Amino acid sequence: MTDFTSPASTDAGEHHPEVATHLQHTPLQANAVQPRPVLDRLPKYAAGKPPAPIEGLTSYKLSSNENPLPPVPAVLDAIREQVGIFRYPDPLSTNLRNALADKLEVPAEDIVTGAGSLGALTQILNTYAGQNEDGTMDEVVYAWRSFEAYPIVVGTAGARAVEVPVLADGRHDLDAMAAAVNERTTVVLLCTPNNPTGPILRTEEVERFIESIPQNVLVVIDEAYTEFIRDDAAVNGIEMYRKYPNVAVLRTFSKAHGLANLRVGYSISRPQITEHLRVIATPFAVSTLAEQAAIASLTHEADVAARVESLVQERERVAAGLRELGWELPETQSNFVWLALGEHAVDFATYAGRHALSVRAFAGEGVRVSIGEVEANDRLLEICRNYPNKPVLSK
C-alpha cells in the first residue's frame, strides 16, 4: 500500500539528483593544462536519472521527456537488419534526407542532419554565433527558462547568451525578445512548445516578431515536440522557413518516434544557410543504424501517430486532473507538464522520489514532469493530491 501522506520538510543537506546545478572545478596548478575560462561560467547539463528503488513500488522515470512507448516494430526490424556497422555511415544521411524531403515537401538539399536536434543546433551556433576577429562576441537571444542546453551550446560556441524571462504563464515574451535584439545579435532561438514550461508560439505572433527584427538575424524555431501539438493556432516552422529566408527549423526523432538513444535530428533552412552548415557539421554524426531506424519510423507514420495520440490523451488527462486538484499550470502542448512550485521545487522532487517517481526539478523555479505510463501518471496525481504546496502562476 503506497503511503501518500504529506512530506516532511527537506533537510538542508538533502540533494536531489534531478536538480540542475553548475559546474564546480577543482583548482588547478598554474602549470597544469587549463580548460577554457568559459567552462566556469556554464551551467552543467543534468541528465534525468531514474528514481531510487522503493520496495513494493514500480519505479518510473518522468524526468527526461522520453517517450515511454517503444519504437514501432518496423524500427526494431530495421535495426536488427543492420550488419554493416564496420563501415562508416553516409556523412550526408542521403537516404534519410530524401525520405524527409518527400514527407515534408522540402528540397533534400535544405536538410542537414545532426546528432539529435541539439546536435543540429550546435552546428548552427558554431556556424553563425561566436567570437569575431576583433574580439567582440555575437549575441544569441532566447527565452528563459527554456531548453537547459541553450546556455551551454551558446557559451561553448563563444557567443554571449541573452536570456529574456518568460511570462508568468510560461510563454515567450516576444516583445521583450525583439527589444533585446541589437547590432550584435546573430541568432534568436524560439522553442515551441517551450521546454520546460509547455506553451506554444502562435503563427501571428511569430510572423510579427520575425518582421520586427533585422533580416540578417537567423531565427531558429526549435520544434522538438511538434508532433504533440493539437492547437491549430500553433506556428509551423516549415511554413515560416518557406516564407522567410532567415528562418531555420529544428526537429528530432528522439521524442515522438522514440529514438532518443539513437540521436537523430535535423535542421531545415535555405541553401544560403545550409551550404555553410555543411562545412561545420560533425562528420558521421548519424550512424547508418540510426538513419535506417528513422526511415523505418517515417515509413510507418500511422503507427507512430497512434502512439503519440495516446500520450496526448494522457497529457490532457493529467493536466485536467491537476487542475481539478487546484494546481495551476501553463497550457502545455508537449509531452510534459510544468509545475511552478518555486521554492518548493526540490522538496517536491524529493517527495516524488520517495514514491518511486523521478521528476526534473529546477531549484527555485519549478518541476517538469514527463507524461509516462498510465500507472506513473496515476501515481503523480495521487502525490499531488497530498502535497500541500500547490503551484500558483503569478500574475
- Give the pLDDT of residue 394: 67
Judge contact between 131 and 137, C-beta under 8 A: yes
- Give the pLDDT of residue 15: 39
Domain range annotation of the chain: 37-70+302-386, 73-299
Q: The cell 506553451 sits on which residue?
A: 199
Which residues contact residue 101 at a Cβ distance below 8 angstroms, ignoring those fewer than 6 apart?
107, 108, 110, 111
Which residues contact residue 161 at a Cβ distance below 8 angstroms, ignoring those fewer than 6 apart?
139, 140, 142, 150, 151, 154, 155
The alpha carbon of 98 is separated from its chain's Cα centroid by a whole number of angstroms, namely 25
Which residues contact residue 269 at a Cβ distance below 8 angstroms, ignoring those fewer than 6 apart?
110, 112, 241, 247, 248, 249, 277
- Tens digit of each residue's pLDDT, the chain (395 residues): 444 444 443 333 333 444 444 445 556 566 788 778 777 777 776 666 677 888 889 999 999 999 999 999 999 999 999 888 899 999 999 999 999 999 999 999 999 999 999 999 999 999 999 999 999 999 999 999 999 999 999 999 999 999 999 999 999 999 999 999 999 999 999 999 999 999 999 999 999 999 999 999 999 999 999 999 999 999 999 999 999 999 999 999 999 999 999 999 999 999 999 999 999 998 999 999 999 999 999 999 999 999 999 999 999 999 999 999 999 999 999 999 999 999 999 999 999 999 999 999 999 999 999 999 999 999 999 999 999 999 878 64
With residue 218 as reference, give the H or E element that holds it: strand 218-222
> Is residue 300 exposed (0-12), middle (13-18) or buried (19+ Cβ within 10 Å)?
middle
Which residues contact residue 239 at a Cβ distance below 8 angstroms, ignoring those fewer than 6 apart?
203
**Do you know the residue count of the chain?**
395
Q: Model pTM greater than 0.85?
A: yes
DSSP 8-state code for residue 387: -
Instruction: Specify the CATH number of the domain 73-299.
Output: 3.40.640.10
- Give the pLDDT of residue 392: 79
Q: The cell 533537510 sits on which residue?
A: 11
- Report the candidate in 66, 112, 106, 387 with the shortest Cα–Cα distance to residue 274: 112
Q: The cell 497512434 sits on which residue?
A: 306
- Give the pLDDT of residue 37: 76
Which residues contact residue 274 at a Cβ distance below 8 angstroms, ignoring those fewer than 6 apart?
109, 110, 111, 112, 267
- How far apart, in whole angstroms, are the C-alpha atoms of residue 58 and residue 311? 20
| Cell numbers describing residue 133 | 576577429
pLDDT tens for residues 92-139?
999 999 999 999 999 999 999 999 999 999 999 999 999 999 999 999
CATH topology of domain 37-70+302-386: Aspartate Aminotransferase, domain 1 (3.90.1150)
Cross-strand pairs, 370: 336
- How far apart, in whole angstroms, are the C-alpha atoms of residue 216 and residue 206? 16
- Give the pLDDT of residue 32: 84
- Report the candidate in 23, 286, 335, 249 with the shortest Cα–Cα distance to residue 151: 23
- Give the pLDDT of residue 38: 76
Judge contact between 230 and 312, C-beta under 8 A: yes
| C-alpha to C-alpha distances, 349 to 48, 62, 305, 312, 366, nearest whole angstrom | 12, 11, 31, 23, 10
Judge contact between 386 and 75, C-beta under 8 A: no
CB atoms under 10 Å from CB of 95, counted, come to 15
- The two beta strands, 185-191 and 139-144, are parallel
pLDDT tens for residues 341-382?
999 999 999 999 999 999 999 999 999 999 999 999 999 999
Amino acid at site 339: L
